[in-house]
Structure 1
Amino acid sequence: FNSVLGKFLLFCKGADSSIFPRVQQDEIQQTKVHVERNAMDGYRTLCVAFKELTQEDYKKINDQLSEAKMALQDREEKMARIFDDIEADMHLIGATAVEDRLQEHAAETIEALQTAGMKVWVLTGDKMETAKSTCYASRLFQTNTELLELTTKTMGDSDRKEERLHELLLEYHKKLLQDFPKNSGKLKRSWTVSQEYGLIIDGSTLSLILNPSQDSSSSNYKSIFLQICLKCTSVLCCRMAPLQKAQIVRMVKNTKGNPITLSIGDGANDVSMILEAHVGIGIKGKEGRQAARNSDYAVPKFKHLRKLLLAHGHLYYVRIAHLVQYFFYKNLCFILPQFLYQFFCGFSQQPLYDAAYLTMYNICFTSLPILAYSLLEQHINVETLTSDPRLYMKISDNAMLQWKPFLYWTFLGSFEGLVFFFGVYFLFQNSSLEHNGKVFGNWTFGTIVFTVLVFTVTLKLALDTRFWTWMNHFVIWGSLAFYVFFSFFWGGIIWPFLKQQRMYFVFAHMVTSVSTWLAIVLLIFISLSPEILLVVFKNRRRSRREFKKKLSNRKASDSLSSRRSVRPLLLRTFSDESNV
């Protein structure tokens, strides 16, 4: 309120596309030139306007707002209509231009994510020129990238916007289909692609695609638009409202193949997008902490996204995939001998293992090694994963949880289960395993099978471990030592609370037999032989590949040095003449 003039002053700020329609048209031209020039230079622009209101006008507006706030139906629409009436015929004050610099290593991070095979989309509320300059600065668009625009400029201001949109969509779709074959839906940036395409779309055009009019034949707008987006190396969505950002994320989530989406932002206008994505990451910054508080993960700077995804994301996927398949494998090894035993005991439901072993197998004997593996394993060190983004492509598309690795683990579990049971079964063809003629019973049979089982599945995990720490050593060798100690302890004492002592002195008696020791060692080696052969084959293949790489590098360096040793013809001529 201006006490001198006795009037109220209403100030309004916003984007040029929102302010210019609300001000006097003769005041726009000069400011518009400055706004466009600053936007081309990469500055974030903002326009400011004002309007004078008399006390009568203020009272009238206040009464209208109070009435709209009390409405039980269409409250938002009524308030928006009043605000539109208030903000009409304003006077333009001017525009501001603020330099919003890219964070350090932002361009390198985006380039690394694209090299890793990820599609990067930019969803922003900035002006198109500003957003385009930012994309070039962050290397999302390269100098050879051909830009396909779906904006108000390309659509025109005519009444046939939807027809023009349909024509542009078909034109771009046809161009992309001609340049790329059908299998290029997962197009990644590489030097093998002759032409890269980038798509630019603004909020108003996106509204026509996502919410077409009922009387138009535009039901396939969305599917054509999605096909265009998937064939472009990068997509820029500018002039986006917060809810439109969430709509984009939801649209990508529901496409064929159900891709995993990740949203990252630093402001309150990014919250809806962060909540909509499978994984939401908030950046703690000057824009406030709303994004960080509503996210799954929070990082101080954008550059930390590289390590978060390429290193920690890679490692935890490998750990969890191995954890899931190892649990399936070790329980298949555990159950298969029990299943086979029923064919040799007249289907009498006689258990192969003692009740204590059945209870302790997954709780104590085999749980800690895989837990330590799933928390600590680093099959490739963090520095290598961060520096070489192409390594991430080895686990893309859920590579470790496909049918091929699943069938391998199933084969390994079935093979080892058969070796456990029939190896001990053939050992027991002669039930007298000692020189004094003493025989072993069915509990000894089950204990030998269980001993081979525990040692084999634990040593299998030891073979898979590439990153050894004191904790890995402690839980792997400690679990085996605990099993031996528990077996001696469980069968070495007469427990008063047990009605029958089936395992009394069974384990201690078993380990006195040389044949039992030989059978345990031999069966463990036979069970692990496929894994050992696979490791040897992989190591030889890796060493051969590294040798060829070194040889090719040496040849390249030799040819380069030989070229440098040859003097240019002009210099050789002058030096030869001088020596004459």
Structure 2
Amino acid sequence: MEGSLNFEEQTREHTNEYADAGLRTLILAYRELDEEEYNKFNTAFTEARNSISADRDAQVDELAETIEKDMILLGATAVEDNLQKGVPECIDKLAQAGIKIWVLTGDKMETAINIGFACSLLRQGMKQIIITLETTEIKTIEKTGDKPAITKAVMSSDIAIAQFRFLERLLLVHGHWCYRRISSMICYFFYKNLMFGFTLFLFEAYASFSGQPAYNDWYMSLYNVFFTSLPVLALGVFDQDVSTRFCL
């Protein structure tokens, strides 16, 4: 019994050391089952997975908890998780631009801090405020993983990028151009529609408000679709007040 406790303590210490080094940790354990116990569990687990009821996930989790207990510890493993190319440089550029960056992670605190230093998000001398929080939602995410949350966020977002370093050009270059183009387009559409309505008013005043149309139906239909669309396309494609190098 004492040896088992020592082994668990050593494994915990090794896991913390791996996390401090920025490694991904995985604890291995097993449990011996006889054939009758396994067949009983497998039958119930298969029925729960094939269930179409609303509490299907709850049934699966409940059955998994009945079998995932009284396990024997084997040890812990660690895998190096390298950063993507250009992550530190991208974060440094965003910080210089005054953009505040938050990191949401389900890793151990030691791993998160190590990764923060590796990607230049954290620096020596920064003040650390550590708040420990444990809620039902956090436990659920830790148990099921963050893949469903990431998939939902991607489906709800306007833009999804494959690598983090693409965010630098997306925000600092295309973001700057987009803001400028949108502001110009607002003024363009405002004055375009104002002039169209103003000419109609002048014509009606000249025609003594007789109701005679100033433009034919084709012109009014094609005014926004064709006659005034080329400046919008040209501005959206070619307007660049500063170069890419200047933005970066």
C-alpha deviation, 1:150, in angstroms: 1.5
Residues 269/51 of structure 1: CA separation in 2 closer, same or farther (3 Å cut): farther
Residues 242/376 of structure 1: CA separation in 2 closer, same or farther (3 Å cut): farther
Secondary structure at 1:139's aligned position in 2?
A: coil
Task: Identify which of 42, 55, 70 aligns with 2:22.
Answer: 42
Task: Identify which of 155, 162, 177 aligns with 1:275.
Answer: 155
Does 2:194 match 1:336?
A: no
Tell me which residue corresponds to 2:164: 302
C-alpha deviation, 1:339, in angstroms: 0.7
Secondary structure at 2:160's aligned position in 1?
A: strand
Does 2:39 match 1:64?
A: no
C-alpha deviation, 1:46, in angstroms: 1.1
Gaps of 5+ in 1: 1-23, 152-204, 212-237, 246-266, 284-300, 388-580
Tell me which residue corresponds to 1:326: 188
What is the rounded CA distance, in whole Å, between the counterparts of 1:65 and 1:114 in structure 2? Answer: 49
Question: Is this contact kept in 1: 2:161–2:167, CA < 8 A?
Answer: no
CA offsets 1:553-579 (integer angstroms, 9 cap, x no match): xxxxxxxxxxxxxxxxxxxxxxxxxxx
What is the rounded CA distance, in whole Å, between the counterparts of 1:54 and 1:143 in structure 2? Answer: 54
Tell me which residue corresponds to 2:59: 78
What amino acid sits opposite 1:93 in the alignment? Answer: L
| Structure showing greater relative contact order (alpha-carbon pairs closer than 8 Å, 6 or more residues apart) | 2
Secondary structure at 1:97's aligned position in 2?
A: strand
Task: Identify which of 135, 146, 167 aligns with 1:207.
Answer: 135
C-alpha deviation, 1:272, in angstroms: 2.7
- The structure having more radius of gyration, on CA atoms, is 1
Question: Is this contact kept in 2: 1:111–1:140, CA < 8 A?
Answer: yes
What is the rounded CA distance, in whole Å, between the counterparts of 1:274 and 1:141 in structure 2? Answer: 26
Does 2:88 match 1:107?
A: yes
Does 2:174 match 1:312?
A: yes
Question: Is this contact kept in 2: 1:123–1:240, CA < 8 A?
Answer: no
What is the rounded CA distance, in whole Å, between the counterparts of 1:111 and 1:44 in structure 2? Answer: 25
What is the rounded CA distance, in whole Å, between the counterparts of 2:215 and 2:35 in structure 1? Answer: 91
What is the correspondence of 1:425-574 to structure 2 with a 5 Å cutoff?
none
Gaps of 5+ in 2: none
Does 2:117 match 1:136?
A: yes
TM-score calculated relative to the size of structure 1: 0.38
What is the correspondence of 1:358-377 to structure 2 with a 5 Å cutoff?
358=220, 361-377=223-239
Task: Identify which of 322, 345, 350 aligns with 2:207.
Answer: 345
C-alpha deviation, 1:78, in angstroms: 3.0
Tell me which residue corresponds to 1:393: none
C-alpha deviation, 1:352, in angstroms: 4.4
RMSD: 3.1
What is the rounded CA distance, in whole Å, between the counterparts of 1:242 and 1:48 in structure 2? Answer: 16
Question: Is this contact kept in 2: 1:242–1:273, CA < 8 A?
Answer: no
Question: Is this contact kept in 2: 1:319–1:375, CA < 8 A?
Answer: no
What amino acid sits opposite 1:48 in the alignment? Answer: L
What is the rounded CA distance, in whole Å, between the counterparts of 2:228 and 2:44 in structure 1? Answer: 72
What is the rounded CA distance, in whole Å, between the counterparts of 2:153 and 2:224 in structure 1? Answer: 41
Secondary structure at 2:31's aligned position in 1?
A: strand
Question: Is this contact kept in 2: 1:35–1:45, CA < 8 A?
Answer: yes
Does 2:104 match 1:123?
A: yes
What is the rounded CA distance, in whole Å, between the counterparts of 1:76 and 1:334 in structure 2? Answer: 60
What amino acid sits opposite 2:36 in the alignment? Answer: E
CA offsets 1:247-281 (integer angstroms, 9 cap, x no match): xxxxxxxxxxxxxxxxxxxx6762233334x4352
What amino acid sits opposite 2:42 in the alignment? Answer: N
What is the rounded CA distance, in whole Å, between the counterparts of 1:270 and 1:242 in structure 2? Answer: 15
Residues 150/243 of structure 1: CA separation in 2 closer, same or farther (3 Å cut): farther
Aligned residue pairs: how many? Answer: 244
What amino acid sits opposite 1:383 in the alignment? Answer: R
What is the rounded CA distance, in whole Å, between the counterparts of 1:356 and 1:59 in structure 2? Answer: 76
C-alpha deviation, 1:39, in angstroms: 0.7
What amino acid sits opposite 2:94 in the alignment? Answer: L
What is the rounded CA distance, in whole Å, between the counterparts of 2:220 and 2:54 in structure 1? Answer: 65
Does 2:42 match 1:30?
A: no
Tell me which residue corresponds to 1:464: none
What amino acid sits opposite 1:341 in the alignment? Answer: F
What is the rounded CA distance, in whole Å, between the counterparts of 2:143 and 2:194 in structure 1? Answer: 50
Secondary structure at 1:28's aligned position in 2?
A: helix
Secondary structure at 1:312's aligned position in 2?
A: helix
CA offsets 1:140-199 (integer angstroms, 9 cap, x no match): 222232111112xxxxxxxxxxxxxxxxxxxxxxxxxxxxxxxxxxxxxxxxxxxxxxxx
Residues 340/82 of structure 1: CA separation in 2 closer, same or farther (3 Å cut): same
What amino acid sits opposite 2:197 in the alignment? Answer: I
Tell me which residue corresponds to 2:131: 150
Question: Is this contact kept in 2: 1:243–1:272, CA < 8 A?
Answer: no
Question: Is this contact kept in 2: 1:109–1:303, CA < 8 A?
Answer: yes
What is the rounded CA distance, in whole Å, between the counterparts of 1:375 and 1:146 in structure 2? Answer: 45
Question: Is this contact kept in 1: 2:19–2:25, CA < 8 A?
Answer: yes
Residues 281/354 of structure 1: CA separation in 2 closer, same or farther (3 Å cut): closer
C-alpha deviation, 1:323, in angstroms: 2.4
Deviates further, 40-49 or 111-120: 111-120
Question: Is this contact kept in 2: 1:124–1:239, CA < 8 A?
Answer: no
Tell me which residue corresponds to 1:403: none
Secondary structure at 1:47's aligned position in 2?
A: strand
What is the rounded CA distance, in whole Å, between the counterparts of 1:77 and 1:306 in structure 2? Answer: 41
Residues 122/279 of structure 1: CA separation in 2 closer, same or farther (3 Å cut): farther
Residues 85/344 of structure 1: CA separation in 2 closer, same or farther (3 Å cut): same
